[in-house]
Amino acid sequence: MKLVIGLAAFVGVLVWLGIGLFIAQGPQPEIIVPAEVITKVGPLNLTNTLITSWVVMALMILFFWTATRSMKLLPTGAQNFAEAVISFLVGQVEEIAGEKNGRRFFAVVATIFLFVICNNWFGLMPFFNAFGKHEDVHHHVFHELTSEHPKDLTLGEDGRYIEGNGFGGWIMDGDGGLIIAKPRTKAIDFEVHEGETPGEAADRYIVFVAKHFAGFEATDEELEHPTAEMVAAAAATLDGTDGHPHLLLGEAHAADDHGAAAAHGLASPALHQTITGIDFEGAKKFGLVIPLFRGAFSDVNNTLALGIVAFLCIEFWGFQALGFGYLKKFFNLNGVNAFVGILELLSEFIRIISFTFRLFGNIFAGEVLILMLTFLMPFLFVDIIYGLELFVGFIQAAVFALLTLVFAVGAVEHHGEDEHHEGHHGEDAGADAHHAHGAAAAH
Amino acid sequence: MDKAVEALGLNLPQLIAQVANFFLLLVILRLVAYKPILKMLDDRKQKIAEGLNAAEIARAEAAQAQANIASQLQEGQRQAQEVVAGAQQIAARIQAEAREQANRDREDSLERARAEIQLERDRAVADLRREFADITVSAAEKVIGQSLDRTAHQRIIDEALANSSFSGN
């Protein structure tokens, strides 16, 4: 009996996973580290992470505004929750920093915590990384190849690329506008190599497009080094048959000026013709969904910004509490302490880096993990990872806030006493004098 | 370094925007969340402390009042008992007095009745004597036909009476 139930459960889980794979498999992930730019406003790239953090900020402000609009002594609903959160935070902060310092540091520490945890948890919403703007990757690749000053590639003096780049995208439907990534979308990657000419790259691109969008047979090896005949055959398949992209060719050109772009287009050395474009009308597109929302702290700009804020606040409190005596911790002429001071100074700056990459690494890795698992095993396993990510989101927020708090407490601590103590044991009278001076300055 | 910066998508305007975002959020949250909520928490803490204090005082007062009532009740009971006892005492005394009075009255009337009877008998005896003497004298006159003077007469009678066994006692 037990065996039957176990077997049934096992089969059930398998069926469940199978159904998930069939109806809900995510697109093959295209992992892009920098935040995607939705649009540009003056010098500012309006990235999806920035939009997300604005949305989260707006929601947080809205929530707290509603909760505290008419405060009652006997709290109900939103006020109750808001108070519970704030009193939990204030309790923790005061426990670590003491009542006086706790109240001083509270606003910054609490804002860090709330901002990070709200962003992390909000980033787990299902529309994240799925819903967004359609981007035409083909257009981008073609533009890069034809351009004399490409953005993602670096063209050398001799007409060969000094620096290559990979262009990733999906074989997908879509014609601009806002779309949702379809299940089981296949990702493809076109790599422009270092040392090849735009023409050679264009030849390979023709074979690449023919293979993925018109059913042209080519192995990976052939894709990397296609013969002229292959390019011609591939070009022939791109003839505008229904469902195939259509190759737009310009005038034939002489063999001796290959490599130079004639008119507006791309000279193909294999075809001896100028390609003026590829028309994807009626076919699948080489595109990508640029998500409108993406976890704000999966962008290194945002985590670095928060790290800098924490650093600035800590140093500000240090100066506020100790005046210029605060610098004594870093700069002094007391033998080995001088060296320790330099290390201390260095560690202040290293903190920014560790703040930045701890949060960024955790959140970015979490997003990649979720994207990967929605592609590999859409049901069940993803749920477990979502649970884990909820936990990670909380932990990272707590770690960032608490470390800021602990460093702040360290910064406002009086070091005079410590040094006096050492002074008694030290033999250097000069050091003692220095301490006395330092202590006086601190007071 | 440049490549790393590019690969991570670092750019200054966004960095500045995000720092500004944070401080904006800090200021607004301070305004709409931390200040009012911390104030409310402190207020409530104080109110609760006051309330507990007041409750403590009220409890003490109630206990005091209860003790007062109990002692007053006890006092009342004691007084009532006293009144009852006094009344009982008085009643007993009145009863005793009444009984005594009745006894005395009865004794008195008995005494009086006895005295009256004695008096009545004495008078009857005296009357009887006189009558008897008169009868005797007249009888004797008739018998001897002479009259004796009064004095000699009386002496003879008294002698006769003294010898007779007829006596009042």
Interface residue A76 vs chain B (CB under 8 A)? no
| Chain A residues closer than 8 Å to B30 by CB | 107, 111
| Chain B residues closer than 8 Å to A57 by CB | 21, 24-25
Nearest chain A CA: its distance from B14 CA (Å): 6
ipTM of the complex: 0.78
**Partner residue facing A68 (CB), from B14, B22, B37:** B37
How confident is the model at residue B147, as a pLDDT?
63
Q: Is A232 in contact with A270 (CB distance < 8 Å)?
A: yes
Interface residue A45 vs chain B (CB under 8 A)? yes
How confident is the model at residue A258, as a pLDDT?
42
How confident is the model at residue A418, as a pLDDT?
47
Residue ranges of chain B with per-residue pLDDT less than 50? 168-169
User: With an 8 Å Cβ cutoff, are A308 and B15 in contact?
Assistant: yes
User: With an 8 Å Cβ cutoff, are B10 and A61 in contact?
Assistant: no
User: With an 8 Å Cβ cutoff, are A86 and B18 in contact?
Assistant: no
User: With an 8 Å Cβ cutoff, are A305 and B19 in contact?
Assistant: yes
How confident is the model at residue A417, as a pLDDT?
46
Report the DSSP pairing between strands A165-172 and A37-41: unpaired
User: With an 8 Å Cβ cutoff, are B30 and A107 in contact?
Assistant: yes
β-sheet bridge partners, residue A135:
A288
Nearest chain B CA: its distance from A406 CA (Å): 19
Residue ranges of chain A with per-residue pLDDT less than 50? 253-263, 417-443
> Got the DSSP string for A13-34?
HHHHHHHHHHHHPPPPP----S
Question: In angstroms, rounded to a whole number, what is the distance separating the alpha carbons of residues B5 and A370?
Answer: 25
User: With an 8 Å Cβ cutoff, are B14 and A60 in contact?
Assistant: no
Q: H/E/C letters for each residue in B74-129?
A: HHHHHHHHHHHHHHHHHHHHHHHHHHHHHHHHHHHHHHHHHHHHHHHHHHHHHHHH
Which residue intervals of A215-299 are DSSP H helices? 220-224, 228-237
User: With an 8 Å Cβ cutoff, are B47 and A73 in contact?
Assistant: yes
Taking Cα atoms as reference points, which of A35, A40, A66, A68 lies closest to residue A52?
Answer: A35
User: With an 8 Å Cβ cutoff, are B14 and A301 in contact?
Assistant: yes
How confident is the model at residue A91, as a pLDDT?
92
| Spans of all domains in chain B | 13-163
Number of cross-chain residue pairs from A and B with Cβ atoms under 8 Å apart = 111
| Chain B residues closer than 8 Å to A153 by CB | none
How confident is the model at residue A264, as a pLDDT?
62
**β-sheet with A246-252: strand ranges across:** A246-252, A273-279, A266-268
| Chain B residues closer than 8 Å to A87 by CB | 37, 41
Interface list for chain B against chain A, based on CB atoms closer than 8 Å: 6-11, 13-19, 21-26, 28-30, 32-34, 36-38, 40-41, 43-44, 47
